[in-house]
């Protein structure tokens, strides 16, 4: 019988083996997992709540048995009775490891609040929302002309606003008569009309002229993060932006892992659906509180997401998306009552609009990017890359637009990285390495100072230096290549090869020491060979997808590149090109579009005509399926090199010099001597 067990924490991806009987909180602390506790593990504060996952986890290579944690105990029982504990939650200080287990740390149990990098991008949007409030004066009842109050409301709206037809559900009809009389037959009506609806839906009614908030929520439901923008439907202002980690990460970090989980665990799709809907309810309440308004003022949500997230959110089994021909249950747009999908935190009559999907692996998020960036109107050849756990790529101009998705995985989000974490105060987000001294300097989220600036220690005393987020690891790897610490194949050199003691032995490979905070009680933050490999795999998938589209459209180069998403806003074009994430273009031709998917969702929320536009555009975008295209693998292998094994990247070489180093067998000089010493020592 095994004496220890594998514990995997999500969303961080950190893992380790622990003796049976180890409290989950102890395991989290030893791994540097962000799990809160202020009572010293005595079961008093309840800050260390966790959610264990059970069943098959193919991505992690484990099967979690029902008895993977110790039994529910009296402390947890008392806490649930007195204070309440969500079903499925355990207290990390009480639950003990008894077998291999996957444990999710929910946002409220994390010490460092996540910084949502997908902030709202400044954009002029012509206001024509599907949901609006209208003041109307209704005729009083007349015994000479008997008719219902609702029918007279309909006549008034037609006469005063040109609205041909309305309907309403029972919740509105029950309030109609008292509101009309209280307002002395003058009322404000909240109406919604979906693109394919014959009639306007009455969502709410208030006595007299009422200017209370009328709000909408634009949501970018990503595989790793969920970002939302709360908008005023009267003037388009973004009142608040917020987000959280997608709780489905505990079922699998990438999309195919979640499909596998649904296939291998009966009811797994239902679990994932419930988790993401609960997260959206939580986010809706939080973002309303952030703006100082009631969530009941949110009358409409527009949602964009990839196809797997689309199906899981709607409660559709995603199994068909896990196998050829990757068939969608429905690709066209959807207009629903939010009650149908258990979004109860919004107004009870709120409406939901989901943008259309383009094809099996190219979803509504890509459609939203197309709505925001309009490649079909471009005179030159533009490549638009929306980087996330599943990258969406568009290539084209006014003649033709192609699209594909590429499975980059969560490394760009800071997951699967040894010291990786989500974007939160204290996370390293910018890195520079001196090519001569090989010494690093960095910046962390929450401070504008670099680590070698006076006052840096004081400025980061509260947050500490806790790990490295996605933008930080990307810049770190690119800087290591520029400084000659990593060769073109992605190998980290040893101290003799690189000339720095920061390159430390790490198992059978080497790592680069970025920061050692152990003296202050902080972590030792390194870039390991495994981290380099994770970034290589992610960037190779991205570049291969772009090259595949270029092959299909018949071009050897593109005129410009637009980087979308959190990545585009926080990574320099130079570092992206040094890694070989994007094709070679002049640096000034690489621009950031911010969170283009979120912007597209906002456009669809605030402009009803834009919904017609994107529903037409998606029919003319040609989908290229990377999963069955043999050239994808060839491009992927070539793209493993940093920046590339074949493509010369002439524009990049105009501005940087890439050291000609090789740390593989067959090197010369100090490299060979370093290898011989290690072999002799072994």
- CA dihedral for 310, 314, 315, 316, sign (positive or negative): negative
Q: What is the pLDDT of residue 225?
A: 84
Instruction: Report the run of H or E that residue 402 belongs to, with start and end.
Output: strand 401-406
Would you state the structure tokens that stand for residue 114, as one six-digit string?
């996540």
Q: Tell me: pLDDT of 123 over 70.
A: no
Token pair 């991205």: residue: 542
Judged by phi (left if over 0) then psi (alpha if -120 to 50, else beta), residue 656 lies in beta
Q: Does residue 51 sit in helix, strand or coil?
A: strand
Span(s) in the chain for CATH 3.30.420.480? 215-365
What is the maximum alpha-carbon separation in the chain?
A: 108
More confident residue, 253 or 501: 501
- Closest alpha carbon to 434 in 448, 455, 452: 452
Span(s) in the chain for CATH 3.10.20.880? 131-207
Q: Top-level CATH class of 131-207?
A: alpha beta
Q: Tell me: pLDDT of 378 over 50.
A: yes
Instruction: Render pLDDT for 416-462 as a digit per residue (tens, 0 to 9).
Output: 788 888 778 899 999 999 999 999 999 999 999 999 999 999 999 98
Q: Where would I find the H helices in 201-354?
A: 255-264, 268-291, 307-314
Q: If pLDDT is split at 50, 70 and 90, which confidence band does 118 have?
A: low
User: Can you give 125-141 as a three-state secondary structure string?
Assistant: CCCECCEEEEEEECCCC
Instruction: Render pLDDT for 41-75 as a digit per residue (tens, 0 to 9).
Output: 777 777 889 999 999 888 778 899 999 999 999 88
Judged by phi (left if over 0) then psi (alpha if -120 to 50, else beta), residue 438 lies in left
Q: What is the pLDDT of residue 671?
A: 36
Q: If pLDDT is split at 50, 70 and 90, which confidence band does 522 have?
A: confident
> Do the beta carbons of residue 570 and residue 117 sit within 8 Å?
yes
What interhelical angle do 170-182 and 149-161 show, nearest 10? 80
End-to-end CA distance of the chain: 32
DSSP state of 338: G
Residue 329: is it exposed, middle or buried by C-beta count within 10 angstroms (0-12/13-18/19+)? middle
Judged by phi (left if over 0) then psi (alpha if -120 to 50, else beta), residue 33 lies in beta
Q: How far is CA 4 from CA 22, 68, 247, in A?
A: 9, 11, 27
- Closest alpha carbon to 632 in 544, 507, 528: 544
Parallel, antiparallel or unpaired: strands 90-91 and 131-137: unpaired
Would you state the structure tokens that stand for residue 503, as one six-digit string?
């390159």
Residue 389: is it exposed, middle or buried by C-beta count within 10 angstroms (0-12/13-18/19+)? buried
Report the C-alpha gap between 62 and 70 in whole angstroms.
18
CATH 3.10.20.30 fits 4-109, yes or no: yes
- Closest alpha carbon to 309 in 358, 260, 276: 276
Average pLDDT over the chain reads: 88
> Do the beta carbons of residue 381 and residue 396 sit within 8 Å?
yes
Q: What is the pLDDT of residue 673?
A: 35
- Closest alpha carbon to 430 in 397, 455, 465: 465
Would you state the structure tokens that stand for residue 364, as one six-digit string?
């509504």
As beta bridge partners, residue 133 has: 190
Q: What is the pLDDT of residue 678?
A: 36
- Flag whether the pTM goes above 0.75: yes
Instruction: Render pLDDT for 458-516 as a digit per residue (tens, 0 to 9).
Output: 999 988 898 898 889 999 999 999 999 999 999 999 999 999 999 999 989 999 999 99
Q: What is the pLDDT of residue 548?
A: 95
Q: Which residues contact 597 (CB under 8 A, 6 or more apart)?
A: 220, 304, 365, 366, 368, 369, 372, 386, 392, 564, 565
> Do the beta carbons of residue 560 and residue 379 sit within 8 Å?
no
Out of 39-48, 75-84, 256-265, pick the least confident.
Answer: 39-48
Quick one: average pLDDT of 288-298? 95
- CA dihedral for 538, 541, 544, 545, sign (positive or negative): negative
Report the C-alpha gap between 479 and 456 in whole angstroms.
21
Instruction: Render pLDDT for 543-587 as a digit per residue (tens, 0 to 9).
Output: 999 999 999 999 999 999 999 876 666 778 899 999 999 999 999
Report the C-alpha gap between 292 and 290 in whole angstroms.
6
Out of 304-313, 404-413, 573-582, pick the least confident.
Answer: 404-413
Q: Tell me: pLDDT of 668 over 50.
A: no
Out of 102-111, 134-143, 397-406, 643-652, pick the least confident.
Answer: 102-111
Report the C-alpha gap between 131 and 216 in whole angstroms.
8
Superfamily name and number for 215-365: Domain of unknown function (DUF4445) (3.30.420.480)
- Closest alpha carbon to 218 in 312, 128, 300: 300
Span(s) in the chain for CATH 3.10.20.30? 4-109
Number of H helices and number of E strands within the chain?
19, 29
**CB neighbours of residue 676 within 10 Å:** 10
Residue 522: is it exposed, middle or buried by C-beta count within 10 angstroms (0-12/13-18/19+)? middle
Parallel, antiparallel or unpaired: strands 351-354 and 382-386: unpaired
Token pair 């959110």: residue: 313
Q: Tell me: pLDDT of 679 over 50.
A: no
């Amino acid at each position: 019988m095994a004496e220890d067990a594998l514990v995997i924490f999500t969303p961080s991806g950190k893992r380790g083996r622990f003796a049976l009987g180890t409290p989950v909180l102890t395991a989290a602390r030893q791994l540097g997992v962000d799990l809160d506790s202020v009572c010293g593990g005595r079961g008093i504060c309840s800050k260390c709540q966790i959610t264990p996952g059970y069943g098959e986890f193919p991505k992690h290579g484990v099967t979690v048995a029902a008895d993977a944690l110790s039994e529910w105990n009296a402390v947890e029982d008392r806490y649930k009775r007195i204070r309440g504990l969500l079903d499925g939650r355990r207290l990390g200080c009480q639950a003990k490891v008894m077998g291999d287990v996957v444990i999710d740390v929910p946002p409220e149990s994390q010490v460092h609040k996540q910084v949502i990098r997908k902030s709202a991008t400044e954009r002029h949007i012509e206001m024509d929302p599907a949901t609006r409030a209208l003041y109307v004066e209704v005729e009083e009842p007349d015994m000479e002309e008997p008719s219902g109050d609702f029918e007279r409301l309909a006549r008034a709206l037609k006469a005063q606003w040109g609205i041909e037809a309305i309907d309403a559900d029972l919740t509105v009809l029950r309030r109609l008569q008292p509101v009309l009389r209280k307002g002395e037959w003058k009322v404000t009506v909240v109406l919604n009309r979906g693109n394919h609806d014959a009639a306007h839906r009455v969502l709410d009614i208030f006595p007299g002229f009422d200017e209370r908030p009328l709000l909408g929520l634009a949501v970018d439901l990503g595989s790793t993060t969920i970002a939302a923008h709360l908008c005023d439907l009267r003037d388009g202002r973004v009142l608040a932006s917020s987000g959280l980690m997608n709780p489905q990460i505990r079922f699998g970090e990438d999309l195919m892992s979640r499909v596998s989980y649904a296939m291998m665990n009966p009811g797994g799709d239902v679990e994932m659906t419930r988790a993401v809907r609960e997260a959206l309810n939580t986010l809706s309440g939080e973002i309303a509180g952030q703006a100082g308004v009631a969530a009941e003022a949110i009358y409409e949500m527009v949602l964009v997401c990839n196809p797997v997230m689309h199906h899981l959110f709607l409660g559709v089994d995603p199994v068909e998306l896990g196998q050829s021909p990757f068939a969608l249950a429905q690709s066209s747009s959807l207009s629903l009552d939010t009650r149908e999908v258990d979004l109860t935190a919004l107004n009870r009559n709120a409406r939901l609009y989901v943008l259309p999907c383009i094809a099996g692996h190219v979803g509504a998020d890509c459609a939203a990017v197309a709505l925001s960036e309009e490649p079909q109107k471009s005179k030159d050849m533009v490549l638009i890359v929306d980087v996330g756990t599943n990258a969406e790529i568009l290539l084209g101009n006014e003649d033709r637009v192609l699209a594909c998705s590429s499975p980059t995985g969560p490394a760009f989000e800071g997951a699967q990285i040894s010291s990786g974490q989500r974007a939160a105060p204290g996370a390293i987000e910018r890195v520079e390495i001196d090519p001569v001294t090989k010494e690093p300097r960095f910046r962390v989220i929450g401070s504008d100072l670099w680590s070698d600036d006076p006052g840096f220690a004081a400025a980061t005393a509260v947050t500490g230096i806790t790990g490295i987020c996605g933008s930080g690891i990307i810049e770190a790897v690119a800087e290591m290549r520029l400084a000659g610490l990593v060769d073109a194949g992605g190998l980290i050199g040893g101290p003799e090869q690189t000339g720095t003691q920061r390159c430390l032995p790490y198992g059978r490979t080497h790592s680069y020491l970025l920061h050692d905070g152990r003296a202050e009680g902080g972590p030792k933050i390194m870039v390991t060979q495994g981290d380099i490999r994770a970034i290589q795999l992610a960037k190779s998938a991205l570049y291969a997808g772009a090259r595949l589209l270029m092959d299909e459209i018949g071009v050897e180069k593109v005129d410009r590149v637009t980087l979308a998403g959190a990545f585009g806003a926080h990574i320099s074009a130079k570092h992206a090109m040094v890694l070989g994430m994007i094709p070679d273009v002049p640096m000034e031709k690489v621009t950031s579009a911010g969170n283009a998917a979120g912007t597209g969702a906002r456009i669809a929320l605030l402009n009803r005509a834009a919904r017609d536009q994107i529903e037409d555009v998606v029919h003319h975008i040609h989908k290229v399926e990377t999963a069955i295209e043999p050239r994808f693998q060839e491009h992927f292998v070539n793209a493993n090199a940093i920046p590339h094994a074949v493509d010369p990247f002439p524009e990049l070489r105009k501005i940087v010099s890439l050291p000609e180093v090789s740390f593989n067998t067959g090197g010369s000089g100090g490299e060979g001597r370093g290898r011989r010493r290690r072999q002799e020592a072994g």
